[in-house]
Structure 1
Amino acid sequence: MAIAADLRRLALVLPGTTETPHFERAAFKVDRIFVTLAADELTANLALTPDEQEFKCQLAPDVFQSVDNAWGRKGWTTIILANATEADLAAALAMAHIHAMGKTRRA
Protein backbone atom coordinates (compact mmCIF):
# COMPACT_ATOMS: atom_id res chain seq x y z
CA MET A 1 0.00 0.00 0.00
CA ALA A 2 1.37 3.38 -1.05
CA ILE A 3 0.57 6.64 0.72
CA ALA A 4 0.92 10.32 -0.12
CA ALA A 5 4.31 10.50 1.63
CA ASP A 6 5.58 7.77 -0.71
CA LEU A 7 4.39 9.74 -3.72
CA ARG A 8 6.10 12.91 -2.51
CA ARG A 9 9.34 11.09 -1.74
CA LEU A 10 9.43 9.17 -5.03
CA ALA A 11 8.42 12.16 -7.16
CA LEU A 12 10.86 14.61 -5.59
CA VAL A 13 13.90 12.37 -6.20
CA LEU A 14 13.23 12.43 -9.95
CA PRO A 15 15.64 14.92 -11.60
CA GLY A 16 14.45 18.52 -11.65
CA THR A 17 11.13 17.86 -9.91
CA THR A 18 9.53 20.53 -7.75
CA GLU A 19 6.27 20.58 -5.80
CA THR A 20 3.83 23.47 -6.19
CA PRO A 21 0.15 24.13 -5.41
CA HIS A 22 -2.23 23.53 -8.31
CA PHE A 23 -5.81 24.48 -7.46
CA GLU A 24 -6.80 22.20 -4.53
CA ARG A 25 -4.05 19.70 -5.39
CA ALA A 26 -0.28 19.43 -4.99
CA ALA A 27 1.46 19.35 -8.38
CA PHE A 28 4.83 17.85 -9.17
CA LYS A 29 6.54 19.15 -12.27
CA VAL A 30 9.73 19.37 -14.26
CA ASP A 31 9.07 21.47 -17.35
CA ARG A 32 5.36 20.52 -17.13
CA ILE A 33 3.19 18.95 -14.46
CA PHE A 34 3.42 15.17 -14.49
CA VAL A 35 1.42 14.25 -11.39
CA THR A 36 -1.07 15.94 -9.08
CA LEU A 37 -1.97 14.68 -5.61
CA ALA A 38 -5.57 15.06 -4.48
CA ALA A 39 -6.26 17.22 -1.43
CA ASP A 40 -7.45 14.14 0.49
CA GLU A 41 -4.12 12.44 -0.44
CA LEU A 42 -5.91 9.21 -1.42
CA THR A 43 -5.39 9.46 -5.19
CA ALA A 44 -3.12 11.13 -7.70
CA ASN A 45 -3.45 11.89 -11.41
CA LEU A 46 -0.53 10.98 -13.66
CA ALA A 47 0.28 12.25 -17.16
CA LEU A 48 0.67 9.05 -19.17
CA THR A 49 0.19 8.49 -22.88
CA PRO A 50 -3.14 6.98 -23.95
CA ASP A 51 -1.36 3.68 -24.73
CA GLU A 52 0.36 3.61 -21.34
CA GLN A 53 -2.95 4.42 -19.68
CA GLU A 54 -4.73 1.59 -21.46
CA PHE A 55 -2.00 -0.86 -20.49
CA LYS A 56 -1.92 0.19 -16.82
CA CYS A 57 -5.73 0.18 -16.52
CA GLN A 58 -5.98 -3.30 -18.06
CA LEU A 59 -3.09 -4.67 -16.02
CA ALA A 60 -4.26 -3.33 -12.65
CA PRO A 61 -7.81 -1.89 -12.81
CA ASP A 62 -7.98 -1.72 -9.01
CA VAL A 63 -4.93 0.58 -9.03
CA PHE A 64 -5.25 2.64 -12.24
CA GLN A 65 -8.33 4.31 -13.75
CA SER A 66 -8.71 6.73 -16.64
CA VAL A 67 -9.62 10.25 -15.56
CA ASP A 68 -13.25 10.60 -16.67
CA ASN A 69 -13.00 13.71 -18.86
CA ALA A 70 -11.10 15.16 -21.83
CA TRP A 71 -7.85 15.01 -19.84
CA GLY A 72 -8.38 11.28 -19.42
CA ARG A 73 -8.72 10.83 -23.17
CA LYS A 74 -5.26 12.44 -23.45
CA GLY A 75 -3.81 9.84 -21.05
CA TRP A 76 -4.27 11.38 -17.60
CA THR A 77 -4.71 8.44 -15.25
CA THR A 78 -5.77 8.19 -11.62
CA ILE A 79 -3.76 5.98 -9.28
CA ILE A 80 -5.52 4.83 -6.12
CA LEU A 81 -2.68 4.96 -3.62
CA ALA A 82 -4.12 2.45 -1.11
CA ASN A 83 -4.30 -0.18 -3.86
CA ALA A 84 -0.85 0.54 -5.30
CA THR A 85 2.46 -0.95 -4.28
CA GLU A 86 5.46 1.32 -3.99
CA ALA A 87 6.78 -0.37 -7.15
CA ASP A 88 3.53 0.45 -9.03
CA LEU A 89 3.84 4.06 -7.95
CA ALA A 90 7.54 4.40 -8.73
CA ALA A 91 7.14 2.93 -12.23
CA ALA A 92 4.16 5.15 -13.07
CA LEU A 93 5.91 8.27 -11.75
CA ALA A 94 9.03 7.51 -13.80
CA MET A 95 6.88 7.13 -16.93
CA ALA A 96 5.03 10.38 -16.33
CA HIS A 97 8.25 12.22 -15.44
CA ILE A 98 9.79 11.43 -18.82
CA HIS A 99 6.81 12.96 -20.64
CA ALA A 100 7.06 16.16 -18.59
CA MET A 101 10.69 16.83 -19.45
CA GLY A 102 11.41 19.17 -22.33
CA LYS A 103 13.22 17.74 -25.34
CA THR A 104 16.51 19.39 -24.30
CA ARG A 105 16.44 17.60 -20.94
CA ARG A 106 15.80 14.22 -22.56
CA ALA A 107 18.73 14.47 -24.96
Structure 2
Amino acid sequence: MLTCDDIRSIALTLPEAEELPHFDSTSFRVKGKIFATMGDEPRATLKLDPEDQRNLVEAHPGVVSAVEGYWGRNGWTKVHFAAMDPETLSGLMRMAWVNVAPKRLVKAFAQDA
Protein backbone atom coordinates (compact mmCIF):
# COMPACT_ATOMS: atom_id res chain seq x y z
CA MET A 1 0.00 0.00 0.00
CA LEU A 2 1.41 3.38 -1.05
CA THR A 3 1.76 6.21 1.46
CA CYS A 4 2.15 9.99 1.26
CA ASP A 5 5.91 9.50 1.60
CA ASP A 6 5.84 7.25 -1.48
CA ILE A 7 3.93 9.92 -3.44
CA ARG A 8 6.48 12.53 -2.38
CA SER A 9 9.38 10.29 -3.47
CA ILE A 10 7.80 9.56 -6.85
CA ALA A 11 6.97 13.22 -7.55
CA LEU A 12 10.37 14.54 -6.53
CA THR A 13 12.25 12.14 -8.82
CA LEU A 14 10.90 14.08 -11.81
CA PRO A 15 13.24 16.72 -13.29
CA GLU A 16 13.12 20.09 -11.53
CA ALA A 17 10.12 19.04 -9.41
CA GLU A 18 9.71 20.84 -6.13
CA GLU A 19 7.38 20.51 -3.16
CA LEU A 20 5.51 23.60 -1.93
CA PRO A 21 2.43 24.20 0.22
CA HIS A 22 -0.87 24.82 -1.56
CA PHE A 23 -3.64 25.96 0.80
CA ASP A 24 -4.12 23.03 3.24
CA SER A 25 -2.29 20.52 1.06
CA THR A 26 1.08 19.82 -0.49
CA SER A 27 1.75 20.60 -4.14
CA PHE A 28 4.39 19.33 -6.51
CA ARG A 29 5.43 21.79 -9.19
CA VAL A 30 7.72 22.16 -12.13
CA LYS A 31 8.75 25.72 -13.06
CA GLY A 32 6.01 27.04 -10.76
CA LYS A 33 3.18 25.01 -12.31
CA ILE A 34 1.35 22.42 -10.22
CA PHE A 35 1.25 18.89 -11.61
CA ALA A 36 0.08 17.10 -8.45
CA THR A 37 -1.28 17.76 -4.97
CA MET A 38 -1.89 15.60 -1.94
CA GLY A 39 -3.46 16.03 1.47
CA ASP A 40 -3.63 13.81 4.51
CA GLU A 41 -5.93 11.22 2.98
CA PRO A 42 -4.64 8.47 0.67
CA ARG A 43 -5.46 10.46 -2.46
CA ALA A 44 -3.45 12.55 -4.88
CA THR A 45 -4.82 14.96 -7.45
CA LEU A 46 -3.01 15.01 -10.79
CA LYS A 47 -3.19 17.35 -13.80
CA LEU A 48 -3.85 15.01 -16.72
CA ASP A 49 -4.94 15.53 -20.29
CA PRO A 50 -8.78 15.28 -20.35
CA GLU A 51 -8.67 12.38 -22.83
CA ASP A 52 -6.15 10.49 -20.69
CA GLN A 53 -8.33 11.22 -17.69
CA ARG A 54 -11.40 9.65 -19.38
CA ASN A 55 -9.43 6.56 -20.35
CA LEU A 56 -7.95 6.14 -16.88
CA VAL A 57 -11.29 6.62 -15.11
CA GLU A 58 -12.69 3.87 -17.34
CA ALA A 59 -9.69 1.57 -16.80
CA HIS A 60 -9.48 2.08 -13.00
CA PRO A 61 -13.06 2.50 -11.69
CA GLY A 62 -13.19 3.46 -8.03
CA VAL A 63 -9.47 4.28 -7.99
CA VAL A 64 -9.25 7.11 -10.56
CA SER A 65 -11.99 9.75 -10.87
CA ALA A 66 -12.38 13.24 -12.28
CA VAL A 67 -12.49 16.16 -9.87
CA GLU A 68 -15.99 17.61 -9.84
CA GLY A 69 -16.93 20.58 -12.03
CA TYR A 70 -14.66 22.92 -13.95
CA TRP A 71 -11.39 21.55 -12.57
CA GLY A 72 -12.25 18.00 -13.57
CA ARG A 73 -13.30 19.01 -17.07
CA ASN A 74 -9.81 20.49 -17.44
CA GLY A 75 -8.04 17.27 -16.50
CA TRP A 76 -7.68 17.44 -12.71
CA THR A 77 -7.99 13.86 -11.58
CA LYS A 78 -8.26 12.18 -8.17
CA VAL A 79 -6.16 9.05 -7.68
CA HIS A 80 -6.70 6.87 -4.60
CA PHE A 81 -3.07 5.80 -4.40
CA ALA A 82 -3.51 3.33 -1.53
CA ALA A 83 -5.21 1.04 -4.07
CA MET A 84 -2.55 1.42 -6.78
CA ASP A 85 0.83 -0.16 -7.41
CA PRO A 86 3.94 2.06 -7.47
CA GLU A 87 4.69 1.54 -11.18
CA THR A 88 1.21 2.62 -12.28
CA LEU A 89 1.22 5.66 -10.02
CA SER A 90 4.71 6.58 -11.19
CA GLY A 91 3.47 6.50 -14.80
CA LEU A 92 0.48 8.70 -13.95
CA MET A 93 2.73 11.14 -12.11
CA ARG A 94 5.00 11.37 -15.19
CA MET A 95 1.94 12.04 -17.36
CA ALA A 96 0.90 14.89 -15.06
CA TRP A 97 4.44 16.31 -15.02
CA VAL A 98 4.60 16.23 -18.85
CA ASN A 99 1.31 18.17 -19.01
CA VAL A 100 2.75 21.19 -17.24
CA ALA A 101 6.54 21.06 -17.75
CA PRO A 102 8.15 23.30 -20.38
CA LYS A 103 8.60 21.56 -23.74
CA ARG A 104 12.41 21.82 -23.61
CA LEU A 105 12.43 20.04 -20.24
CA VAL A 106 10.05 17.32 -21.47
CA LYS A 107 12.26 16.81 -24.53
CA ALA A 108 15.41 16.51 -22.42
CA PHE A 109 13.63 14.11 -20.04
CA ALA A 110 12.45 11.93 -22.95
CA GLN A 111 15.98 11.76 -24.37
CA ASP A 112 17.40 10.68 -20.99
CA ALA A 113 14.76 7.96 -20.52
State the TM bucket, normalised to the shorter chain: over 0.9
Partner amino acid for 1:77?
A: T
- The unaligned stretches of length 5 or more in structure 2 are 108-113
User: Equivalents in 2 of 1:106, 1:87: separation in Å?
Assistant: 20
Contact 1:46 1:77 in 2 (8 A): yes
User: Equivalents in 1 of 2:37, 2:30: separation in Å?
Assistant: 12
1:96 aligns to what?
96
- The 4+ residue runs of structure 1 with deviation greater than 3 A are none
2:46 aligns to what?
46
The RMSD of aligned alpha carbons is: 1.1
1:59 aligns to what?
59
Question: Matched residues, percent identical?
Answer: 35
Q: Secondary structure at the match of 2:44?
A: strand
Q: How many residues align?
A: 106
Normalised by the length of structure 2, the TM-score is: 0.88
TM-fit CA distance, 1:103: 2.5
User: Equivalents in 1 of 2:44, 2:69: separation in Å?
Assistant: 15
Instruction: Between 96-105 and 55-64, report the one with greater CA deviation.
Output: 96-105
